[in-house]
Amino acid sequence: MLKILINPAKFNSFYNLTIRPLLFLSIITLIIGLVFVFFISPDDYQQGSMVKIMYIHVPSAWLSLLTFLIMTIYSIISLSFKISFGFIINKAVAPVGAIFTLICLITGSLWGKPMWGTWWVWDARLTSVAILFIVYLIIIFLNRTFENREVREKTIAIFILIGSINLPIIKFSVDWWNTLHQPASVSKLSSPSIDISMLQPLLIMTIAFSLIGLIIAILRIKTEILLRKKYL
């Protein structure tokens, strides 16, 4: 399993074996999730049907953080052990993380307007997520600069490690500072503050979004491996 995560040749075998089952699972899970969201999950007594934005906003938020965490881990591995596959991962998944972060920001704004009376507030959680989006954009930009690939990849890996300081700020900002953003509702699966009728579709949609994100990432990693072979 470890070789799949650090070896391009092993990854190609993993791609051929899993891409179709993952695509099938993602479609089925997404359909089940949407049925729960629109036909089973109740409206909130305060927010009404607007609460259903949560089923897009929360999975996107989780995946925006998870993607950057994965990039951070691969940056450490690549810089420490000189494994080039980590640099491939970073280049391939940065746009995926940026998309999820953008979705998180947009849905959060749409959700916040009826709750807070404004589209945006510069509180700790929203500002730190906006910074994460900017960091993703800088990484994408850096991947298009520097003619020397080795310099470019090491620069990006170091920048990712610096940017990872923002991850705990995003996670714990609602606990450290007084913010409009509500605390986590599913921090403990054993006793979540969200009702089970909303928790079930939220978890299903999170799985669906995760599978979709994984498929996009795998396709981009595969493409990047092929491009590197072409230009070597």
The answer to whether position 142 is within a domain reads: yes
pLDDT of residue 166: 94
The answer to whether position 104 is within a domain reads: yes
Q: Which residues pair with 44 in a beta bridge?
A: 48
The answer to whether position 58 is within a domain reads: yes
> Are the CB atoms for 55 and 137 separated by under 8 Å?
no
pLDDT of residue 41: 86
Rounded to the nearest 10°, the torsion over CA 136, 213, 219, 85 is 60
Of 232, 226, 216, nearest to 98 (Cα)?
216
The answer to whether position 45 is within a domain reads: no
Higher pLDDT, 76 or 1: 76
pTM for this model (two decimals): 0.89
Say if residue 35's pLDDT is above 60: yes
The answer to whether position 48 is within a domain reads: no
- Split at pLDDT 50, 70, 90, the class of 191 is low
The answer to whether position 227 is within a domain reads: yes
Distance between CA 154 and CA 147 in Å, rounded? 13
The answer to whether position 4 is within a domain reads: no
Give the domain range for residue 140.
Answer: 54-178+198-232
From residue 85, give the alpha-carbon distance in Å to each of 11, 90, 183, 190: 10, 9, 37, 38
Q: How many residues does the chain have?
A: 232
> How far does CA 115 lie from the centroid of its chain?
25
> Are the CB atoms for 207 and 29 separated by under 8 Å?
yes
The answer to whether position 110 is within a domain reads: yes
Of 81, 83, 102, 70, nearest to 218 (Cα)?
70
Higher pLDDT, 126 or 102: 102
Average pLDDT of the segment spanning 181-186? 58
pLDDT of residue 194: 76
Distance between CA 33 and CA 224 in Å, rounded? 31
If one counts the domains in the chain, the total is 1
Distance between CA 13 and CA 41 in Å, rounded? 40
Q: Which residues pair with 48 in a beta bridge?
A: 44
> Are the CB atoms for 76 and 161 separated by under 8 Å?
yes
Say if residue 182's pLDDT is above 80: no
pLDDT of residue 32: 97
Amino acid at 127: T
Tokens 């075998």 sit on residue: 13
